[in-house]
């Protein structure tokens, strides 16, 4: 069994919390191996720009799912917040921990307790690059360390399909509220969400990319 991090936005974390989200779709990113062949030109004609080999035309190959296989686990990275720790941990002054909430343990020591945007009132601002790390603000999920993660998921199945193959049932398993929507409307709602995240990265709905479809079940809360 292997554990890997997985990013989820606040809305999707809430869907996991509610038990509505049991699938995730992520673009398949093929690897492109390059085979090298000797150049036909002689070194003399190419000097001083001579290289003995040239990259051949790349061919995509299948790769294992980066989110694991059934039985592996995903620890959820989500938007979080910490309170200023410099007063208690001055040696961490250069470490970008961000804000953390401090609670006193039975031993009298202070423990670092993260807070989560998905389950807290949305009263804080997001920290931008260059802002001081001691301001009270929400931190992007990409910066969440393993110790702060509170949700652990177990992968139950993995398959590959084209994004446009998703059905209304698949949209519901993605955690999207399809109440009072027709199947076409449900897929259209998912399409808008997909493009808002993936179109700018070259995996827009219109290109119909191949995607990993990962099913999962929640294991437990792991944060203190």
Give the pLDDT band of residue 203 (cuts 50, 70, 90): very high
pLDDT at 100: 43
**Domains annotated on the chain, with CATH:** 1-28+59-77+149-224 (2.30.130.30), 79-144 (no CATH)
Model confidence at 26: pLDDT above 70? yes
What's this model's pTM, rounded to 2 decimal places?
0.70
Q: 65 versus 195: which is more confidently predicted?
A: 195
E strands, 8-164, where?
A: 23-27, 36-38, 53-55, 73-77, 80-81, 101-104, 110-113, 115-116, 125-126, 137-139, 151-162
Backbone angles phi, psi at 113, to 5 degrees: -120, 110
Average pLDDT in the 148-157 region? Answer: 93
Give the pLDDT band of residue 90 (cuts 50, 70, 90): very low
Average pLDDT in the 113-119 region? Answer: 84
Q: 93 versus 201: which is more confidently predicted?
A: 201
pLDDT at 121: 64
Average pLDDT in the 153-174 region? Answer: 94
Residues 6+ apart with CB under 8 A from 174: 15, 21, 23, 24, 25, 166, 190
Whole-angstrom distance, CA of residue 79 vs CA of residue 126: 9
The tokens of 140 are what? 């992007």
Whole-angstrom distance, CA of residue 73 vs CA of residue 75: 7
Residues 6+ apart with CB under 8 A from 68: 2, 4, 74, 155, 158, 214
Whole-angstrom distance, CA of residue 222 vs CA of residue 31: 34
Average pLDDT in the 15-33 region? Answer: 85
Residue among 4, 1, 8 at smallest CA distance from 22: 8
Whole-angstrom distance, CA of residue 80 vs CA of residue 150: 11
Residue with tokens 């807290």: 120
Mapping DSSP to helix (H, G, I), strand (E, B) and coil, where does residue 145 land? coil
pLDDT at 127: 52
Lowest mean pLDDT among 51-60, 81-90, 211-220: 51-60
Mean pLDDT taken over the chain: 75
Residues 131-135: contacts with CB within 8 Å, 24+ apart?
Answer: 133/96, 133/97, 133/98, 134/84, 134/86, 134/99, 135/99
């Amino acid at each position: 069994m292997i554990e890997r991090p997985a990013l989820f936005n606040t809305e999707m974390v809430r869907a996991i919390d509610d038990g509505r989200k049991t699938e995730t779709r992520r673009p398949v990113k093929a690897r492109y191996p390059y085979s090298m062949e000797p150049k036909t030109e002689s070194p003399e004609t190419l000097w001083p720009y001579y290289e003995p080999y040239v990259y051949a035309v790349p061919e995509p190959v299948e790769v294992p799912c980066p989110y694991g296989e059934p039985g592996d686990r995903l620890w959820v990275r989500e938007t979080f917040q910490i309170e200023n720790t410099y007063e208690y941990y001055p040696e961490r002054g250069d470490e970008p921990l961000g804000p953390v909430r401090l609670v006193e343990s039975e031993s009298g020591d202070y423990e670092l307790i993260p807070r989560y945007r998905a389950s807290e009132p949305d009263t804080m601002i997001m920290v931008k690059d260059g802002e001081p790390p001691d301001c009270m603000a929400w931190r992007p999920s990409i910066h969440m360390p393993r110790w702060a993660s509170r949700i652990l998921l177990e992968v139950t199945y993995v398959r590959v399909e084209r994004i446009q193959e998703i059905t209304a049932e698949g949209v519901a398993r993605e955690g999207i509220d399809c109440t009072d929507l027709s199947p076409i409307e449900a897929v259209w709602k998912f399409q808008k969400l997909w493009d808002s995240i993936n179109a700018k990265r070259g995996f827009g709905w219109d290109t119909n990319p191949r995607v990993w479809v990962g099913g999962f079940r929640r294991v437990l809360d792991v944060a203190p």
